[in-house]
Amino acid sequence: MRRWVLPGLLPLAVLALLPPSAPQAEPVGPALAAASNLSQGRRPGTLDGARALGVRDLRDGMVWARAERAPGTYVFDGPRQRFPDALGDSRLSIVLNWGNPLYDGGDTPHSDAAVAAFGAFAGALVRRFPNVDSLEIGNEFNGTNFVRGPLKDMTPEARARAYVPLLRAASGAARAARPGIRISGGALHSLPGAYLDALLAAGAADHMDTLALHPYSTAPEQLARQIAVLRRRPAIAEMPIEITEFGTTDRAGSASYAVRMYCQMALAGVSRAVWYPLNDRGDGYVPLFTPDGRITPAGRAWRLIAARMERRAVVDAAPDPFGYGCRFAGGTHVLWGARRGVTLPPGARAVDAEGRDLPPPLLLSPDRPVIVIGPDDAAPPALGPDGVIADSFDQFTYPEATGARPGDPFDRLARHGDRDHPLRLMPGQQAPAAPWTPHLGAPALGRIRLAADTLRPGVWAGRPVHIVHRYVAPTAQVIDLDASFAPGAGTTDGISVSVTLNGAALAAQSGTHPIKVARRGLSLAPGDVLELSVGPNADATGDVTRFRITLRAP
């Protein structure tokens, strides 16, 4: 594995010249890029649209079979092979994926000869195109959508072991051809710790400069926390991380999503952030501009991020456990979270995620960030009270030790019959039906699980297993309770929800429909125990449930 030397704090002009993987003495906003598909055929206006928006870093592919049509001979002669020549001084990373019919019948390379040929192609590619500054080896290799042949039928752990020879061959040949080439490895969909463990055990870290992640299944507010869980592994504790795909199918919310994700990526030390896609792919994901060249909400957010946040020093500006925020050098604050009033400092203005002015009165929102732009030395915006006492999503933690949950006001446990069981951290993708992100579970009780926003109760040994949130009042309190539980469409007979205070029932509902519980003015004495329990009905099939529990002062 390569070693990284941390430079001192550098001026923004110098930071702009550094490659995306160059680490900083303090976090800075990641380098921005976008995922293009020029290797699949250039659509009219794509490059013009990218340049007009200011996109100067692209992530694309290169089809091996088109460039090597006879063993050992490489011809980059078609528009789908020569597209890097048209990019001028733009940065370009190339994803090397799939196979070549000349080797292993076109399957993902697995024989020694095919793996060696894959590496040789990587070397030929970087020799031919000097503006390719990074190779990303594989794409979402922990899944099966982008692998073919024997590797597709392997377990994830076996596929991880089969991936490392490909990574070794490609990185070795590419570095021999150009020692400064950046190698991104891992090729991970989501943040699957168990798959990552298998990669690292097979020696992957020795052959890559950055770890590539696609955190599609992680909420922005959980991203920095989950990356911190991955970084508990010594082999990648200091390795740069690139988010080489992030995006959404929610057009209306795409700008807000982009800004929230960018803030959390910056705080997590991510070095490069690649929006998917640059241009329309026909898969529902929101591009930066439309086929006729109109900038989308995501594109306007991208432009705002590039102007006010990219490569600028950043500090965590979260006001409390129920809010999220970043302060970027140059006087830009990004804030969102529990609803409360916002008062601007003198000389500042507020815009939304698309850069549109926000008129007063300003109100913080859980999913619509307020961006405050002012002088670099301006005071932070003043926030009013939010009244939140505890929240199951905002205060979800990923404990290193079972039972240790600093900062979490809830005891989160599994109840089987009359016995309570602790939940422990699960790495992600450790079993066929497990989420591909860190979460809590109890393997001795089957497939039950708990994440920040979803839970799954179960049945074990013929008895239900409930997921319980327990709140013990630290002082005398009067609280309002709001809780929601929405079982997924695949549930067979729904879930059961019960709420008790010191063992006395406050509410009980069951069914396949969304369940809401609201109680106002609950008086709690010190040590009083409020419990919310979610269990299956007769059958736990499909009982993955979205939920949130919030306690507020009246």
CATH for 69: 3.20.20.80
Asked if residue 202 and residue 308 are part of one domain, the reply reads yes
Asked whether the predicted pLDDT for residue 325 surpasses 80, the reply is yes
439: domain CATH number is: 2.60.120
Label residue 548 exposed, middle or buried (CB < 10 Å: 0-12, 13-18, 19+).
Answer: middle
Of 384, 400, 431, the one marking the end of a domain is 384
Tell me how many domains the chain contains.
3
Q: Examine the fold and report which residue of 384, 413, 434 is the final residue of a domain before the chain moves on.
A: 384
User: How far is residue 198 from each of residues 194, 206, 401, 443, measured CA to CA in Å?
Assistant: 6, 14, 21, 19
**Same-domain check for residues 188 and 55:** yes
Is residue 318 one of the residues assigned to a domain?
no
**Omega prior to 435 cis, within 30 of 0:** no
For 236, phi and psi rounded to 5 degrees? -120, 15
pLDDT at residue 4 tops 70: no
Degrees, nearest 5: CA angle 389-393-398? 110
What does DSSP say about strands 449-450 and 182-189: parallel, antiparallel, or unpaired? unpaired
The Cα–Cα gap between 313 and 331 comes to: 11
E-state strands within 190-322: 210-214, 241-246, 272-275, 314-316
Task: Identify whether 112 is part of a domain.
Answer: yes
Backbone angles phi, psi at 502, to 5 degrees: 55, 35
d(CA 155, CA 180): 34
Looking at per-residue pLDDT, the higher value among 19 and 298 belongs to: 298
Q: What is the pTM of this model?
A: 0.94
Structure confidence at residue 14 (pLDDT):
34
Q: In this structure, are 280 and 331 located in the same domain?
A: no
Residues 346 and 401 in one domain: no
Tell me the pLDDT of the chain averaged across its residues: 94
Task: Write out the two tokens for 77.
Answer: 């002669």
In a domain, 114, yes or no: yes
My answer on whether 377 and 393 are in the same domain is no
Say what the pLDDT of residue 385 is.
96
Tell whether 1 is covered by a domain: no
pLDDT, one tens digit per residue, over 438-480 is 999 999 999 999 999 999 999 999 999 999 999 999 999 999 9
In a domain, residue 69? The reply is yes
Position 116 pLDDT exceeds 60: yes
In 418-528, which ranges are E strands? 419-422, 424-426, 439-441, 449-450, 454-456, 458-460, 463-472, 477-487, 495-501, 504-511, 515-524
Tell me if 2 is assigned to some domain. no
317: in domain: no
- Residues 338-351 have pLDDT tens digits of 999 999 999 999 99
- 170 belongs to a structural domain: yes
Q: Are residues 380 and 286 in the same domain?
A: no
Domain of 170 in residue numbering reads as 12-312
Indicate if 243 and 103 belong to the same structural domain.
Answer: yes
Looking at the fold, whether 201 and 338 belong to one and the same domain comes out as no
User: Which residue in this structure is represented by tokens 């991020």?
Assistant: 305
Verify that 137 and 178 share a domain, yes or no. yes
Angle 404-408-411 (CA atoms, 0-180°, nearest 5)?
70
Q: Roughly what angle, to the nearest 10 degrees, separates helices 193-201 and 220-230?
A: 30
- Same domain, yes or no: 434 and 534: yes
Same-domain pairing of 177 and 254: yes
% of the chain beyond a pLDDT of 70: 95
Last residue of a domain, one of 312, 340, 359: 312
- Asked whether residue 305 falls in the same domain as residue 342, the answer is no
